């Protein structure tokens, strides 16, 4: 059973939990069953929507959600290709001015859950490797509320009768061309197991919601392939992520600009190379930056530049 909760109108005692969902969770737990809640921790940044018509601001280049940034100046930024534009004052579809940035952090989600369900065992399922697998598994088995941060977690834990997506827009804000397919697959998987599915959203009229509730995978596939063809995503083009990691930001920039110069020398028409020189990750005292390469046929190009590119141990490739 699918229940779509429209956050534009639903009463909410918490910023991310509607009263309807809280009530259903309590009923499920009292019956001795488990609740599985999905929320993407990586993309707690806000995406922008129009509350009047449900329009979501997408990148013109990538068809992926634009993210609201407030510093150094307020703007919308695509985390996939680095395209940016000033935050608009009105919706381009209905011209309404009731715009809303939606998104919240995973820690606040967990804190509020513990306040609302103080006597209920809660476990977070994520890629945190600080705890041993044995301890993690015991926590999961004993918990009545499971908070999963990754769509890939198609769990086989017994007793899950309620599955909820706390904010569908947060999942859709992930800058991956196949994110809607991952969401659809995850929901279909849990629905086949007989779980009640609750989806909280500010855009209940979206095409994805329609395909999910109708359960028509063929229509979803036709719609998805048409979009991928327009933007030359696989299978109509090739997409590669190059990760450059180094203790020095300047060396990272140097590697990237050398790659850009090499592509210009090779005169590769229509190839798309995206990166944002201001967006860095940092792990183990190393900075990292993602470069996106998109073209109809990248394999010959990668073969041409491989020797020069990958002799640098700081560069790794991820084919999408």
**What structural domains does the chain harbor?**
2-44+103-227 (3.40.50.300), 45-102 (no CATH), 238-319 (3.30.70.260)
pLDDT in tens, 215-249: 888 999 999 999 999 988 999 988 888 888 888 88
Residue ranges with strand state E in 135-176: 145-148, 160-165
pLDDT, position 27: 97
Alpha carbon distance 169, 166 (integer Å) = 9
Q: What percent of the chain has pLDDT over 90?
A: 29
The whole-number average pLDDT for the span 166-194 is: 86
181 vs 176, more confident: 181
pLDDT, position 304: 75
194 vs 270, more confident: 194
pTM: 0.76
pLDDT in tens, 63-72: 888 888 875 6
3-class DSSP assignment, residue 165? strand
pLDDT, position 92: 92
17 vs 261, more confident: 17
User: 121: pLDDT confidence band, cut at 50, 70 and 90?
Assistant: very high
Alpha carbon distance 203, 51 (integer Å) = 8
User: 158: pLDDT confidence band, cut at 50, 70 and 90?
Assistant: confident
Cα–Cα separations (whole angstroms), residue 3 to 20, 199, 217, 221: 10, 6, 19, 22
Q: Which residues have a Cβ under 8 Å from the Cβ of 41 and sit 6 or more positions away? A: 105, 106, 126, 149
The whole-number average pLDDT for the span 181-204 is: 90
């Amino acid at each position: 059973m699918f229940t779509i909760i429209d956050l534009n109108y639903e009463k909410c005692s918490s910023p991310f939990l509607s009263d309807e969902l809280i009530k259903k969770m309590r009923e499920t737990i009292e019956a001795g069953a488990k609740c599985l809640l999905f929320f993407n921790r990586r993309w707690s940044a806000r995406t922008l929507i129009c509350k009047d018509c449900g329009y979501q601001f997408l990148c013109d280049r990538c068809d992926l959600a634009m993210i609201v940034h407030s510093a150094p100046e307020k703007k919308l930024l695509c985390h996939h290709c680095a395209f940016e534009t000033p935050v608009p004052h009105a919706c381009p579809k209905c011209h309404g001015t009731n715009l809303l940035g939606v998104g919240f952090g995973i820690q606040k989600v967990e804190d509020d859950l513990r306040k609302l369900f103080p006597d209920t065992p809660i476990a977070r399922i994520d890629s945190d490797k600080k705890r041993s697998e044995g301890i993690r598994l015991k926590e999961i088995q004993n918990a009545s509320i499971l908070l999963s941060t990754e769509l890939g977690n198609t769990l086989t834990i017994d007793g899950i009768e309620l599955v909820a997506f706390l904010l569908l827009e947060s999942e859709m804000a992930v800058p991956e061309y196949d994110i809607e397919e991952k969401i659809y697959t995850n929901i279909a998987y849990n629905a086949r197991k007989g779980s009640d599915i609750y989806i909280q959203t500010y855009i209940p009229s979206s095409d994805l919601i329609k395909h999910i509730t109708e359960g028509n995978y063929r229509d979803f596939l036709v719609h998805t392939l048409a979009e991928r063809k327009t933007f030359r995503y696989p299978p109509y083009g090739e997409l590669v992520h190059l990760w450059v990691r180094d203790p020095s930001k300047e060396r990272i920039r140097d590697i990237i600009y050398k790659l850009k110069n090499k592509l210009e020398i090779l005169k590769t028409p229509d190839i798309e190379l995206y990166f944002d020189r201001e967006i860095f990750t940092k792990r183990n005292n190393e900075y990292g930056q993602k470069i996106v390469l998109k073209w109809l046929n990248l394999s010959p190009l990668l073969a041409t530049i491989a020797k020069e590119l990958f002799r640098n141990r700081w560069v790794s490739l991820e084919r999408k």
